[in-house]
Structure 1
């Protein structure tokens, strides 16, 4: 019986390299693929939306002893991710482009284009720090990675559950330090010491993506003008830095962004605590949509510690989270992800908070 064929998404970093190494060791027939998403002229560097060094990645694949293909997904990325990114910011919301990219491009259009290009594969793998398991009934469970500091389940909540049937996450049971050591011991010390990508886009690209915002007023909760902003797309709820409002007795934070009158509202930190969060565009992964209230733990941003709450469904695609304690600045446009312990149940986009 021939070995199962696995296509690995390769970025040229240590995580995808380690994923390839582990799959080869497990006896899979492995090949690599890289998606090109940035238009010509966008710098690379330490970011997700940047020019890929395809020759370097192909050389890495050669060193690993696997074949490699680079696929042009710039049109798909522009249509699904960049358009969404720009429109959300223009509407006064703060998008999460990685969540949209995972659903529409990395675990969507990339695999469709790979198959259409003649690449043969049974499974698709990435270097995400998450685990896939099955319950007693055989249902897929998406579980947080063992390395809690590197867990990336938050970014995968919006992928349709059936797609996980063909996905492998080889790094789910490893820590980042173990992955670096694995790469270094195999002769890839250059990758083990390579800095990780941190931002969605390099500063130069962000300036271009958010270009065109109209300056307007920064106001307090009463409507009194406190200052001027450079365009609402440059601000997010909970932001303190960059407001140009130094010398105040009490620091002020962005508490609301109004696209209707092009204003940014600021308030003291104490006024940004919210217990009620309404969600839309929900997706359920490890469970069906609940028919009634359920106790959950909820993350409202990547670095947020899951907080105990009750979820009240309205239908399969929307509902309300009631936190036991107030949470700082739930941000419209960002993701709220629901967990039962380590198991990701589902998630949604924050529509409003109170």
Structure 2
């Protein structure tokens, strides 16, 4: 068989970089700036796109957020320095409807949402990805720390080489179709220091810019304050109740509490440490109890995005590892499909503080591959 006369370039296309258009999603931070600069230096036809997700005035008041006013300025500056076009797209309405509104409703429902996942799923990897196609791009690149590797049946999602920077938990809902079009040029780097070294090499002004912190639209981590602003009167008072039925005190709103919380309960003078074990929105109750009541073995999961080679329901059980919070390591589990998008997950070792609204992400225990995941909810 003759050799292919057109070897693949670094983004996987059989043509020169100069003939390969790549849209880079630029947040204004060091990661996406390095991606854009690196691809431009390699000779690609780079187009930078930054999303304006909320009002500039409010955004400028918050330090350490992504997609804020100063970040738009920084992204534009990188594009000017490296010599490629840059566009700012107004996605305020889309972001409000697809991410912020659901965030508020989830909190009011007693869940602990992860809006960064919804933003990737519903804004960046949906609308922005379609915009990239409208710009006749061959692919879209981002600064996420995750890897895309080619497998026997197509592209696979893999954890980043640097476990401390890995963002797989926040990208589990990336579909096979999206994965065909996406590229993650930083996923193989050994550390964030390596990224900053590249930024310095390219002479980028953002080389020493701090990483973004917390959720971009939540100032100072005050989730309850944001909910009260979005839903005035939402923080209705109620009782703090022990799991055995005793009323221990009053609270100022269920939205001020999360599953597993111990501090700030406002119920002193007790002989044992107590934790929030359940939020009963209908009864306006915060239910507390000893730590052992937090242990969960069986987790109902829905809205599953499956990234396996075989159909999800082709097996009665999948023996994988799962992660139920972004800060926790994967734990061994048995996943039992109930439909194409729902499952019961049995943890071999019980986890504490499993909360509705969080993601349950599936990992191959023997490799870096991610098999998708779904959303934890209350029950069937």
TMscore range, shorter length: over 0.9
- Give the 5 Å matches for 1:218-229: 218-229=240-251
Q: Is residue 132–residue 140 contact of structure 2 (8 Å, CA) maintained in 1?
A: no
Residue 305 (structure 2) pairs with residue 289 (structure 1):
no
Task: Report Cα offsets for 1:197-232 as digits up to 9, x if no partner.
Answer: 120021387455310321211111022222222221
- Give the 5 Å matches for 1:166-185: 166-174=181-189, 175-185=191-201
Is there any run of 5+ residues in structure 1 with no aligned partner, and where? none
Paired residues in the alignment total 350
- Give the 5 Å matches for 1:1-354: 2-42=18-58, 43-48=61-66, 50-113=68-131, 119-137=135-153, 139-174=154-189, 175-188=191-204, 190-200=205-215, 201-203=218-220, 206-211=223-228, 212-287=234-309, 288-291=311-314, 292-340=316-364, 341-352=367-378
Task: Work out which of the two has the higher radius of gyration on C-alpha atoms and give 1 or 2.
Answer: 2
Q: Is residue 296–residue 350 contact of structure 2 (8 Å, CA) maintained in 1?
A: yes
Task: Report Cα offsets for 1:73-112 as digits up to 9, x if no partner.
Answer: 0100011101110111111111110111111001112233
Task: Indicate how the Cα distance of structure 1 residues 284 and 196 shifts in structure 2: closer, same or farther if over 3 A, else same.
Answer: same
Moved over 6 A (4+): none
Is there any run of 5+ residues in structure 2 with no aligned partner, and where? 1-14, 229-233
Task: Report Cα offsets for 1:270-301 as digits up to 9, x if no partner.
Answer: 22111111101111124431431010000001
Residues in 2 aligned to 1:51 and 1:290: alpha-carbon distance in whole angstroms: 45
Residues in 2 aligned to 1:269 and 1:351: alpha-carbon distance in whole angstroms: 21
Task: Indicate how the Cα distance of structure 1 residues 258 and 286 shifts in structure 2: closer, same or farther if over 3 A, else same.
Answer: same
Secondary structure, counterpart of 2:152 in structure 1: coil
Task: Tell me the TM-score normalised to structure 1 length.
Answer: 0.93
In the TM superposition, residue 337 of structure 1 has moved relative to its aligned partner by 0.2
Residues in 1 aligned to 2:95 and 2:52: alpha-carbon distance in whole angstroms: 9
Residues in 1 aligned to 2:199 and 2:362: alpha-carbon distance in whole angstroms: 33
| Worse overlay, 26-35 or 48-57 | 48-57
Q: Is residue 320–residue 335 contact of structure 2 (8 Å, CA) maintained in 1?
A: yes
Secondary structure, counterpart of 1:254 in structure 2: strand
Secondary structure, counterpart of 1:106 in structure 2: helix
Residues in 2 aligned to 1:259 and 1:38: alpha-carbon distance in whole angstroms: 29
Task: Tell me the TM-score normalised to structure 2 length.
Answer: 0.87
Work out which structure has the larger RCO, using CA pairs closer than 8 Å and 6 or more positions apart in sequence: 1
In the TM superposition, residue 235 of structure 1 has moved relative to its aligned partner by 1.6
In the TM superposition, residue 120 of structure 1 has moved relative to its aligned partner by 3.8
Q: Is residue 73–residue 110 contact of structure 1 (8 Å, CA) maintained in 2?
A: no
Secondary structure, counterpart of 1:352 in structure 2: coil
